[in-house]
Amino acid sequence: MSETVAFIVHGGRQDAMEAARETASRLEESGLSVGVVVFTDGAEDQASLELAALSPSLIVSLGGDGTFLRAAKRAHELDVPILGVNFGRVGYLLDVPPTELDGVIRRALEGHVVVEERLGLAISVREGPLVHETIFAVNEVSVEKTVPGHVVRLAAGIDGEPFMHFSADGVLIASPMGSTAYNLSAGGPVLSPDLDGFVMTPVAPHFVIDRSVVLSGDQVVSLDVVGERPAVCVVDGVSIATLTPGDRVECRREPRRLHVVTLAEPGLGRRLRESLRQGHE
């Protein structure tokens, strides 16, 4: 049976759409089965069904970091490797130039590339008596204020024990891969991608410790909304729930890793240097 490559592109990126079609045509001529799935805002469920129907051996994300995050969630659900192609400006997640795409895809299918096992987060949200289905986070989960000009009050716990009350714009929990995203902007530390753990960072805390806490992969963090004001739970930049006092978000290590294809295995110093430089260009 021929292996199947699935391209995921955002409907608003014409350059990515053209690259997907052109590359798909060349790969099909060489005997591969190829599908192009277009993600548009408000129609992601349908795109997910189309992707699952392809039963891909490899998922290729073409776009910016947002497209990669959407595609990575689907790759994790299907337990297949994902290759990110950089059409965005800030590209820590994405390290494959479009001009090298054909060859890299063939190398990936032949097993001649590095596939990194990246740790993600398992997020559980409890709204009153309702417990939502566990959500996979690639980068981070945050619990944030909803009222401009006011802080939200959150009670953080670690492994079932009370840790600290925060009055802040929010508190975020980031994976090692996500530590260079929102976490870094909030003043949190960068974690090595190979680290078995995650980091909790307060966002603009008021009269309380403003340092991050790095936790091991075996630990569980809870964030309870306390006080009178509501909060919003955001996973990888997408709001998933509005929380009221008494609601809780729990975060733990996701047992199954995300398989990310890379061209090579550069050292952490090079990765950070390139990522941080790109973020300021």
Mean pLDDT of 187-200: 94
pLDDT at 72: 95
Calpha distance 12→14 (Å, rounded): 6
- Nearest Cα neighbor of 204 from 225, 228, 222, 187 is 187
Query: Percentage of the chain with pLDDT > 70?
Result: 89
- Give per-residue pLDDT as tens, 114-136: 899 999 999 999 998 888 899 99
CATH number of the domain residue 158 falls in: 2.60.200.30
Q: How confident is the model at residue 85 (pLDDT cuts 50, 70, 90)?
A: confident
Identify which of 43-47, 96-100, 181-185, 197-201 has the greatest average pLDDT: 197-201
- Domain match, 133 and 106 both: no
Cα→Cα distances 5→56, 76, 116, 187, 206, Å: 5, 15, 19, 38, 49
Catalytic residue list contains 15 = no
Provide the 3-class DSSP secondary structure of residue 227: coil
| Structural domains of the chain, count | 2
Most confident of 63-77, 86-100, 262-276: 63-77
Task: Inform me whether the pLDDT recorded for 42 exceeds 80.
Answer: no
Residues 172 and 274 in one domain: no
Give yes or no: residues 186 and 238 share one domain. yes
Residue 259's Cα: distance from chain center in Å?
Answer: 12
Q: Are 120 and 257 in contact (CB under 8 A)?
A: yes
277 pLDDT higher than 70: no
Q: Which of 45, 65, 102, 210 is catalytic?
A: 65
Q: Does residue 248 share a domain with residue 135?
A: yes
216 - beta bridge partners? 197
List the CATH number of the domain containing 100. 3.40.50.10330
Range of the domain at 263: 4-118+257-278
